[in-house]
A = this chain, B = another copy of it.
Amino acid sequence: MEEEEEAKMNNQQEKSQKKNAILVDGVILNGPVADSKSGEKFVEEVNKIIMEEVVKKASDATEKVCEWQSPEQLRTLLDLELKDTGESHPKLLQLCQDVIQFSVKTYHPRFFNQLYAGIDYYSLAARFITEALNPSVYTYEISPVFLLVEEAVLKKMIEYIGWEGGDGIFNPGGSVSNMYAMNLARYKYFPDIKEKGLSGIPQLVLFTSEECHYSVKKAASFLGIGTQNVYFVKSDDRGKMIPEELEKQVQHARNEGSAPFFVSATAGTTVLGAFDPLNEIADICEKHNLWLHVDASWGGSALLSRRHRKLLHGIHRATSVAWNPHKMLMAGIQCCALLVKDSSGLLKRCYSANASYLFQQDKFYDISYDTGDKSIQCSRRADAFKFWMTWKALGTTGLEKRVNRALALVRYLVDEIKKREGFQLLLEPEYANICFWYIPPSLRKMEKGHEFWEKLSCVRKFL
């Protein structure tokens, strides 16, 4: 009886809704857009899966790092195809489970990689907030909190570099930071470039070490400078740029009539973890009026450790610095800052396009907070926030401990390698990169000549 009445009422309600419906082009405009209750439920269910399968397993070294499947196998295991009709929630939840199951657990205590150092609960929580709020950090009116947060983080990073002031912008990666710096440098020396381009300007030449990150070459190509105008400076046997060689190369470039403008030193190289001698390089840059960029994407984190910041001795003399807190400091991908010593507004002058639909000049607040025009992007993610949250939670001393612990672990592993048969250390590490050979039993007695190294370099085949 009650059910019948309810059905009747629902029916009446439906009819009345249909009667009042605003119908345009076959769409009922005042009907519900999405079933929000069921949507909320779905998000809650996925959150539960994430807590169980990811967050709570993150500290468990007995779990697998990865359930390896070849591309061909994985394709058959996952239902990847996008179809005309949607899937049910139970099916979607199973897909979420599958995605997690077959993904690499980058937070795993046994996963070793330059980009990862475990799970950070604070930055993770902050990233959930960012995703839920879905901001775009270009103008204050749309991202008030995140712009102030970015300002606070940049200020602190600049303080740790040792500059009195400066400017900066979070952007999608160390590679992009290096591009920003390279373009900024050429704009500083040749401001006409922005309008006129490279034609009519002497051949620009830049310098970096043989051990630099490959993004320096990518940047030179992308910016129209060309990879052959990247002059690679010899490194010593520890992977550090040799200042005398830099001096020679700069002289050589000048003699051939090119225009040297930019040196990209590396603080923490990709393979060996080497730190270029910044002070000596800064002397050369000052002498020749060159922009000194330090790619500290990897090594920058050491600045937070009183014990290890000497690795970056001289960094305060840099003109710009790339620093990625998403690596050793675990802020989550991506969290990368380009920092610039200039505080006269160079970054904005170089990158602004003054789009009138977005960066109106007659707003009712201080438009210096509309930092979007310093960027090559239009919409931009709030990447500073996750690092800010971790810093808030741990304090500088907590971040310092993180760095000290990483480098203490390196000391321990190096000692273990030295003690263990069949392992050979390549060189004493300066930072968190430990390069060693595993020598399989079949090669252990062999003389270390040509054949030995040949065979060792394809050791996978022998295992």
A427 within 8 A of B: no
Instruction: Please indicate the chain B residues that have their CB under 8 angstroms from the CB of A127 in the complex.
Output: 131
A 163-196 contacts with B by CB, 8 A: 172-176, 179, 183, 193-196
- Asked if B129 and A46 sit within 8 Å, CB to CB, the answer is yes
Q: How many copies does the complex hold?
A: 2
- Asked if A92 and B195 sit within 8 Å, CB to CB, the answer is no
Instruction: Please indicate the chain B residues that have their CB under 8 angstroms from the CB of A380 in the complex.
Output: 172-173
- Asked if B34 and A121 sit within 8 Å, CB to CB, the answer is yes
Instruction: Please indicate the chain B residues that have their CB under 8 angstroms from the CB of A81 in the complex.
Output: 152
A143 within 8 A of B: yes
A354 to B221, CA, bound (A): 14
Closest to A202 in B: B199
A78 to B385, CA, bound (A): 13
A interface bracket (residues with beta carbon within 8 Å of B): 35 or more
- Asked if B134 and A397 sit within 8 Å, CB to CB, the answer is no
A351 within 8 A of B: yes
Instruction: Please indicate the chain B residues that have their CB under 8 angstroms from the CB of A217 in the complex.
Output: 353
Q: Could you say which of B25, B394, B395 contacts A407, with CB atoms under 8 Å apart?
A: B25
- Asked if A333 and B27 sit within 8 Å, CB to CB, the answer is no
A130 to chain B, nearest CB (A): 8
A424 within 8 A of B: no
- Asked if B92 and A412 sit within 8 Å, CB to CB, the answer is no
Most B-side CB within 10 Å, residue of A173, A217, A385: A173
- Asked if A50 and B106 sit within 8 Å, CB to CB, the answer is no
- Asked if B40 and A144 sit within 8 Å, CB to CB, the answer is no
- Asked if A136 and B333 sit within 8 Å, CB to CB, the answer is yes
- Asked if A326 and B55 sit within 8 Å, CB to CB, the answer is no
A 373-402 contacts with B by CB, 8 A: 376-381, 385, 388-389, 391-398, 401
A9 within 8 A of B: no
- Per-position binary interface string of chain A over residues 337-376, scored 1 when its CB falls under 8 Å from any chain B CB and 0 otherwise: 0000000000000010111010000100110010000001
Instruction: Please indicate the chain B residues that have their CB under 8 angstroms from the CB of A85 in the complex.
Output: 395, 397
A215 within 8 A of B: yes
A71 within 8 A of B: yes
- Asked if A379 and B173 sit within 8 Å, CB to CB, the answer is yes
- Asked if B404 and A27 sit within 8 Å, CB to CB, the answer is yes
Instruction: Please indicate the chain B residues that have their CB under 8 angstroms from the CB of A102 in the complex.
Output: 144-145
- Asked if B195 and A203 sit within 8 Å, CB to CB, the answer is no
Q: Which one of A10-18, A225-233, A281-289 contacts B? A: A225-233
Q: Which one of A93-101, A234-242, A244-252, A441-449 contacts B? A: A93-101
- Asked if B144 and A196 sit within 8 Å, CB to CB, the answer is no
Most B-side CB within 10 Å, residue of A145, A203, A270: A145
Q: Could you say which of B84, B146, B183 contacts A395, with CB atoms under 8 Å apart?
A: B84
Q: Could you say which of B353, B362, B366, B411 contacts A25, with CB atoms under 8 Å apart?
A: B411
With A74-B148, A395-B86 as contacts: A118 and B33 at CB distance below 8 Å: yes
- Asked if A198 and B198 sit within 8 Å, CB to CB, the answer is yes
With A46-B129, A102-B144, A103-B135 as contacts: A271 and B357 at CB distance below 8 Å: yes
With A29-B409, A29-B412, A128-B131 as contacts: A59 and B36 at CB distance below 8 Å: yes
- Asked if A69 and B144 sit within 8 Å, CB to CB, the answer is yes
A8 within 8 A of B: no
A153 within 8 A of B: yes
Q: Could you say which of B27, B95, B104, B142 contacts A143, with CB atoms under 8 Å apart?
A: B104
Most B-side CB within 10 Å, residue of A42, A74, A194, A380: A194
- Asked if B198 and A224 sit within 8 Å, CB to CB, the answer is yes
9 examples of A-B residue contacts, CB within 8 angstroms? A46-B125, A54-B133, A71-B369, A74-B148, A87-B393, A134-B333, A175-B378, A215-B353, A333-B381
